Amino acid sequence: MNPSPNRLISLSQARAIVDSLGPLASEETPLTEALGRITAEPVCAAGNCPTVDSSLKDGYAVRSDDVAAATADQPVSLVITGTVVAGAATSPTVGPGTAVRIMTGATLPAGADAVLAAEFATERDRQVEVRANAHAGRNVLRAGSDVSAGEIVTTAGTVLGPGHLGLFAAAGITRLSVVRRPRIMVAAIGSELVEPGQPIGPGQVAASNLVTIRGELQRIGLETDGVLLTDQLDRLESVFAAILSSHDVLLTCGGVLDGDKDLTLRAMDRLGVQRLFHRVRIGPGKGIAMGRIGTAVIFNLPGGPPSNHVAFRQLALPGIRKLAGYPAPFTGHKTALLTETVHGTNGWTQFIYGRMLAQKDDGSRHVQPLTELPRLQAMAVADCLIELPEEIDIRTAGAPVTIWLF
């Protein structure tokens, strides 16, 4: 059972709610457009690869019994009856005392059960002098040895890389069932905000959260829409209604506290959004809220850049990953040793921007807290977040900590 949506909850409780999200519906995509997509179901091979027994070497297709006694001192002579190359429709049959010259990838001729590598043979006057044996199956790639028809080659929830696409092509697969990518809108809210790249007047602030979040999502292959909104409740309500009718995810930045101009959640309430939680015991980022309406998921993020970014990385991004089909959204954490002492707040999960250092000779990883840098500079140079759990209010230099890699 979910906790009361208006009660301050722990990070573990919030993660459990996020983890309950299911993937979006599947869709078909051509193999050539599947890079980076996530499989919605197991993928089965449509055919064998290779389709026939073939040669792994340039050399001679032989009967293993004919060359069993061949050595450098006592070579065996075989009559060459022809040549077979990769892609040839037909080839000579290998009979007793004969061999067929064969190229890498060519179909193993009937009668042959091995391929002798070219370096162990000398050819003269349509005969080949064999100086080594070749047991049955030597240098032969059996039909279906890479992939067999009907074999499951990839499970559901696999992020497809170039190697997967090559495997699928070899297995005769031309189309795939993948999880549909979520349609995402990022909305920055505040009358003081200006579009990034525009002149910033006195008292104004560039909507940097908009750029940061869209960049984070673009990095994992998810395109987003973006909009900048002022503090007008009726306008927020109407714009949010339109967004939620056309997008799977709405990420809002700002307006989640209790000030007169914090109107985001009031607009959500007007729309009938089911609030799953509001405020989590994390620092920074406690103001985050999560809700649902219809099939759409909403993450209302705080407006301060570190609070916005931490809340996004720790809860909103895993939620989007779950919708996109990743089976384990809370990944990317490791253990490292602190280079200096850090302080947290008892009863709260604290996050600190950090930078990984070169691995030591003993294999240990060390992380440097970026506590001395201004907040935006720390965000820019960090490659991880250091997590201090609720029960810890201090971690001394040299102590192990959990880090979340970017």
DSSP secondary structure, 279-292, as one string: -BSEETTTT-EEEE
Is it the case that residue 1 has pLDDT exceeding 60? no
Q: Is 272 left (phi over 0), alpha (psi -120 to 50) or beta?
A: left
* Spatial CB neighbours of 202, under 8 Å, sequence gap ≥ 6: none
Q: Please tell me the predicted confidence (pLDDT) of residue 363.
A: 80
Query: In the structure, how many helices (H) and strands (E) does the chain have?
Result: 8, 28
Q: Given this model, what pLDDT does residue 173 score?
A: 96
Q: How is domain 11-24+181-323 classified at the architecture level of CATH? A: 3-Layer(aba) Sandwich (3.40)
Q: Cα Rg for the chain, rounded, in angstroms?
A: 31
Q: What is the pLDDT of residues 112-168, one digit of tens each?
A: 999 999 999 999 989 999 999 999 999 999 999 989 999 999 999 999 999 999 999
What is residue 66's DSSP assignment? G
Q: Does the domain at residues 26-49+153-179 carry the CATH identifier 3.20.110.10?
A: no
What residue type is 200 in one-letter code? I
Name the DSSP class of 93.
Answer: P
Using DSSP's 3-state secondary structure scheme, residue 231 falls into coil
> What's the CATH number for 54-141?
2.170.190.11
Q: Is residue 284 reached through a cis peptide bond, with omega within 30 degrees of 0 on the bond before it? A: yes
Q: One-letter amino acid identity for 281? A: R
The pLDDT of residue 2 is 57
Please write the tens of the pLDDT for every residue from 321-336.
999 998 888 988 999 9
Pick the closest to residue 114 from 50, 78, 51, 66 (CA basis).
66
Q: What is the pLDDT of residue 331?
A: 84
**What are the boundaries of each domain within the chain?**
11-24+181-323, 26-49+153-179, 54-141, 333-405
What would the pLDDT profile of 15-62 be if each residue is shown by its tens digit? 999 999 999 999 999 999 999 999 999 999 999 999 999 999 999 999
Whether residue 12 has pLDDT greater than 90: yes
Average pLDDT over residues 252-281: 92
The least confident of 77-81, 89-93, 175-179, 245-249 is 89-93
The span from the CA of 254 to the CA of 288, in Å, is 10
The amino acid at residue 124 is: R
Q: Given this chain, do its domains 11-24+181-323 and 54-141 carry the same CATH topology?
A: no
Reported for 136-140, long-range contacts at CB under 8 A and 24+ positions apart, including other chains, are 136/64, 137/113, 138/64, 138/114, 139/55, 139/56, 139/57, 139/59, 139/114, 139/115, 140/53, 140/54, 140/55, 140/56, 140/108, 140/113, 140/114, 140/115
Using one digit for the tens of pLDDT, what is the confidence trace for 201-241?
999 999 999 999 999 999 988 999 999 999 999 999 999 99
Name the CATH superfamily, with its identifier, for domain 333-405: MoeA, C-terminal, domain IV (2.40.340.10)
pLDDT tier for residue 3 given thresholds of 50, 70 and 90:
low
pLDDT at 274 over 70: yes
